[in-house]
Amino acid sequence: MKKLSFLLILAAQPALAASGPFFSLRNTDFVVTIAFLIFVAVVLKAKVPGMLGKLLDKRAAGIKADLEDARELREEAQSILATYERKAREVQAQADEIVVAAKRDAQAAAEQAKADLRNSIARRLKAAEDQIASAEASALKEVKDRAVLVAIAAAGEVMAKQISAKDKAGMIDAAIADVETRMH
């Protein structure tokens, strides 16, 4: 309070430079100084500086609380960001694993398809070889059968020309006797 009064006195010093007697109600500088001192006294009496201090303290406390809330929100946001970044890395790692597994599965499927194709080709070649061998055997049998028929026909013609009727009858009788011995 004493400091404030001293400051007011110092502030009123330029008023002393006015002309005429200072302590007169006709001197505007004196009237303004008195009004100012009354204003300051009213302000001090109403405890305005204390109220201003309280308002400033309240405002400072509000700002401090806002800053603390902002700091907490920032920390929470950083925590959430870190969580999402970690999850993004995990998802990326899983996606990479899925891609690798898919490539591996595709390669295995391609190898299996190649092996199946080789086996199928081998079976078809074997079936074709078997058909060729069967056709060969059939052709050989047919040729042999045909050769036997031709030989029999030729032998029959040769025998017909060379064997007489009496020899033929003897051969027939011998064949009948041979059949009779075999049947009994």
Report the alpha-carbon angle 162-168-170, nearest 5: 130
The share of the chain scoring above pLDDT 90, in percent, equals 48
Predicted confidence band at 11 (pLDDT cuts at 50, 70, 90)? low
Q: What is the pLDDT of residues 101-157, one digit of tens each?
A: 999 999 999 999 999 999 999 999 999 999 998 988 888 888 888 887 887 777 777
Residue 28 token pair: 């505007």
CA 168 to chain centre: 98
Alpha carbon dihedral 126, 131, 133, 136, in 10-degree steps, equals: -160
Q: How far apart are CA 21 and CA 3, in angstroms?
A: 27
Question: Where are the domains positioned within the chain?
Answer: 149-183
Q: What is the pLDDT of residues 53-80, one digit of tens each?
A: 999 999 999 999 999 999 999 999 999 9
Residue 155 token pair: 């032998």
pLDDT reported for residue 14? 54
pLDDT reported for residue 162? 73
Q: How far apart are CA 33 and CA 31, in angstroms?
A: 5
The pTM is what? Answer: 0.39
pLDDT reported for residue 132? 93
The SS3 call for residue 24 is coil
Residue 130 token pair: 């078997």
Is the model more confident about 80 or about 175?
80
* Whether pLDDT at 2 is above 70: no
pLDDT reported for residue 74? 96
pLDDT reported for residue 100? 95
Place of tokens 């400033």: 56
Neighbour count for residue 30 (Cβ, 10 Å) = 19
CA 148 to chain centre: 78
